[in-house]
C-alpha cells in the first residue's frame, strides 16, 4: 500500500523529535504510577516524585561536570533560565557584553535591561558567525559584570570560543553566562571545562526531553546574595517563613515543578550519558559533512556559516537563488514532506551579522535519529527546487 511518504524531520534545532522511547515511558510511568507533588507532602508518592526530580538534577549535574546537583535550577525553558540570570544579576550602571550571534532570548531581555540603565556592548562576529575573543576583550570595561554568549548558533551552528572568552572575562572579574540551548547534549560542555559561571539549557532540544523543561546551572563564583529570583513563592521548604529561601535550588524554584517533564528529561539525559556526548557528536558531525557537501554541489544553493563540520553543530542554513526561504519551506513541506524551519529563527541580530536580514534562510537541523536516507531525500528535494528556480 503506498501512502504519503513519512516526514523527514529536520527541525531539531527548534525541538528534537522523535524522542527516545525511554523518555515517553518515563513520562507515562510518572503519570500513571506516581503523579504526586514533590517535596510538599511526606507520603510515599510525594517522596517518589521528589526522587524523580532529583534523578533529573543528578543526571544534568553529571552532564555538566558538577558534583553538586543542587546547583541545577529547573526552569520552564532556556528563555526562562536566561531571563532569570540576566534580570537576577544585572543592575543599572553595570555593563554587559554579548555577541552578534545571539538568540532573542538573550537580546530581548538585554535590550529591556538597557532601557533601565544597564550598559550593553555587542561584540561583532564575522559573516560566518565566528567570534574573535579579542573583540570581547576590547569591549570589556571596569564595570563589566557579565559576558553572555551562545555556545553554538541556532542559525548556522557555529561554535563560539566560550573557553577563550571565559578566560578573558575571568581575568577582568566578569562572570560568564553561556546560552547552551543548542549545545548541551550535542557538544561535550562541562562547566569546569568551559570555565563558565552560569549555563542556561533547554530540555526539549539536544537533551531529548519534553517541552516545558530547562534550567540554569549556577557555578561557585556566583554570589547568591546578589542574585535575585524572578519569582517568589511556595517551595515546599521553610514553610514556616514568609521570606524566600536563600539556598539552592529553592531560592529560584518557586511553584510546582513540571515533574512529568523532568521524568522525561532525566530519561533523555541518561540516554545521552549512556551513549556518550562525544560519540553522538561524531555521528552528527558525519551527518553535517554529508549535508554540507551535498548542498555545496547544488547549483544556485548558497550555504552560510563556516561550512566546516568540526566548527559547527549539525544546523545548516542555506538559500536557493530566485526562491524566497518561505516559499522553499512551504514546498519542502507540501511537495516533499520535509520539515525545515525558514526565516529569521528568532535571531535577527545573527541574520544582520550574516547579511541575510530580513529575509532569513532555510534551516536544516538533523538530530540524534536522522538517517543517511533522510539526508539523501532532503538533498534530492533541495536539488529539485534549485533546478526549478533556474528554469
Distance, in Å, from the CA atom of 31 to the CA atom of 9, rounded to the nearest integer, reads 28
Residue 105 interacts with ligand PLP (CB under 6 A): yes or no: yes
Nearest to 212 by CA among 151, 261, 175: 261
Residues 6+ apart with CB under 8 A from 152: 158, 159, 160, 182, 183, 186, 187, 312, 313, 315
Cell 529561601 found at: 245
Q: Which residue, 214 or 343, has its beta carbon nearer to ligand PLP? A: 214
Helix (H, G, I), strand (E, B) or coil at 346: coil
x/- contact string, 198-227, with ligand PLP (CB under 6 A)?
----x-----------x-------------
DSSP run (H or E) holding 272 = helix 259-275
Cell (9 digits) for 183: 549545545
Region near ligand PLP per CB under 6 A, out of 119-127, 164-172, 177-185, 277-285: 177-185
Q: Which residue, 77 or 144, has its beta carbon nearer to ligand PLP? A: 77
Q: Which residue, 179 or 270, has its beta carbon nearer to ligand PLP? A: 179
Helices within 145-258 (DSSP H only): 162-171, 191-194
Among residues 58, 346, 384, 388, the one annotated as catalytic is: 346
Active site residue 346: yes
Q: In this chain, which of 16, 99, 154, 189 binds ligand PLP, going by CB under 6 A? A: 154
**C-beta of 119: minimal distance to ligand PLP in Å?**
22
- Do 339 and 370 form a contact (C-beta atoms < 8 A)? no
Helix (H, G, I), strand (E, B) or coil at 345: coil
x/- contact string, 282-321, with ligand PLP (CB under 6 A)?
----------------------------------------
Residue 16 interacts with ligand PLP (CB under 6 A): yes or no: no
Residue 98 interacts with ligand PLP (CB under 6 A): yes or no: no
Q: Which residue, 56 or 78, has its beta carbon nearer to ligand PLP? A: 78
Residue 144 interacts with ligand PLP (CB under 6 A): yes or no: no
Cell 532525566 found at: 266
Cell (9 digits) for 205: 532540544
Q: Which residue, 135 or 179, has its beta carbon nearer to ligand PLP? A: 179
b/e map of 110-133 (b: 16 or more CB within 10 Å)? beebeeeebbbbbbebeebbbbeb
Q: Please list the residues that pair with 123 across neighbouring strands.
A: 99
Residue 103 interacts with ligand PLP (CB under 6 A): yes or no: yes
- Do 325 and 361 form a contact (C-beta atoms < 8 A)? yes
Q: Which residue, 179 or 250, has its beta carbon nearer to ligand PLP? A: 179
Supply the angle between the helices 259-275 and 21-29 in degrees, to the nearest 10.
150
Residue 79 interacts with ligand PLP (CB under 6 A): yes or no: yes
Site for ligand PLP in 178-197 (CB under 6 A): 179, 181-182
Residue 77 interacts with ligand PLP (CB under 6 A): yes or no: yes
Region near ligand PLP per CB under 6 A, out of 4-12, 175-183, 318-326, 350-358: 175-183
**C-beta of 204: minimal distance to ligand PLP in Å?**
6
Site for ligand PLP in 232-291 (CB under 6 A): none
Residue 12 interacts with ligand PLP (CB under 6 A): yes or no: no
Looking from the CA of 254 toward its CB, the CA atoms found within 13 Å total 16
Cell 500500500 found at: 1
Nearest to 269 by CA among 42, 129, 81, 59: 59
Residue 78 interacts with ligand PLP (CB under 6 A): yes or no: yes
Task: Tell me which residues touch ligand PLP (CB under 6 A).
Answer: 77-79, 103, 105, 150, 154, 179, 181-182, 202, 214, 346
Which positions are catalytic? Answer: 346
Amino acid at each position: 500500500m503506498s501512502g504519503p511518504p513519512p516526514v523527514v524531520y529536520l527541525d531539531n534545532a527548534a525541538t528534537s523529535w522523535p524522542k527516545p522511547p525511554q523518555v515517553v515511558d518515563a513520562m507515562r510511568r510518572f503519570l500513571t504510577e506516581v503523579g504526586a507533588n514533590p517535596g510538599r507532602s511526606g507520603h510515599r508518592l510525594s517522596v517518589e516524585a521528589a526522587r524523580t526530580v532529583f534523578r533529573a538534577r543528578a543526571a544534568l549535574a553529571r552532564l555538566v561536570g558538577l558534583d553538586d546537583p543542587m546547583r541545577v535550577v529547573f526552569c520552564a525553558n532556556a528563555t526562562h533560565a536566561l531571563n532569570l540570570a540576566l534580570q537576577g544579576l544585572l543592575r543599572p550602571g553595570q555593563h554587559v557584553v554579548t555577541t552578534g550571534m545571539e538568540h532573542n532570548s538573550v537580546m530581548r531581555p538585554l535590550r529591556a535591561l538597557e532601557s533601565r540603565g544597564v550598559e550593553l556592548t555587542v561584540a561583532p562576529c564575522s559573516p560566518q558567525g565566528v567570534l574573535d575573543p579579542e573583540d570581547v576583550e576590547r569591549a570589556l570595561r571596569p564595570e563589566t559584570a557579565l559576558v553572555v554568549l551562545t555556545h553554538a548558533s541556532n542559525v548556522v551552528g557555529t561554535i563560539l570560543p566560550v573557553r577563550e572568552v571565559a578566560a578573558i572575562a575571568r581575568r577582568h572579574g566578569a562572570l560568564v553566562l553561556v546560552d547552551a540551548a543548542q549545545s548541551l547534549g550535542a557538544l561535550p560542555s562541562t562547566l569546569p571545562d568551559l570555565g563558565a559561571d552560569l549555563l542556561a539549557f533547554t530540555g526539549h532540544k539536544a537533551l531529548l526531553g519534553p517541552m516545558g523543561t530547562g534550567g540554569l546551572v549556577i557555578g561557585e563564583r556566583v554570589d547568591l546574595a546578589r542574585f535575585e529570583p524572578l519569582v517568589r513563592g511556595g517551595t515546599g521548604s521553610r514553610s514556616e517563613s514568609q521570606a524566600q529561601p536563600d539556598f539552592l535550588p529553592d531560592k529560584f524554584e518557586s511553584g510546582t515543578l513540571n515533574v512529568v517533564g523532568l521524568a522525561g528529561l532525566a530519561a533523555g539525559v541518561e540516554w545521552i550519558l549512556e551513549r556518550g556526548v562525544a560519540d553522538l557528536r561524531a555521528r552528527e558531525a558525519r551527518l553535517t559533512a554529508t549535508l554540507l557537501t551535498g548542498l555545496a554541489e547544488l547549483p544556485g544553493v548558497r550555504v552560510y556559516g563556516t561550512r566546516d563540520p568540526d566548527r559547527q553543530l549539525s544546523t545548516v542554513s542555506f538559500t536557493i537563488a530566485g526562491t524566497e526561504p518561505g516559499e522553499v519551506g512551504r514546498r519542502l513541506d507540501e511537495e516533499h514532506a520535509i520539515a525545515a524551519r525558514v526565516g529569521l529563527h528568532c535571531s535577527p541580530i545573527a541574520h544582520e551579522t550574516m547579511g541575510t536580514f530580513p529575509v532569513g534562510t532555510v534551516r536544516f537541523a538533523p538530530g540524534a535519529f536522522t538517517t543517511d536516507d533522510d539526508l539523501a531525500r532532503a538533498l534530492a528535494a533541495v536539488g529539485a527546487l534549485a533546478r526549478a528556480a533556474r528554469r
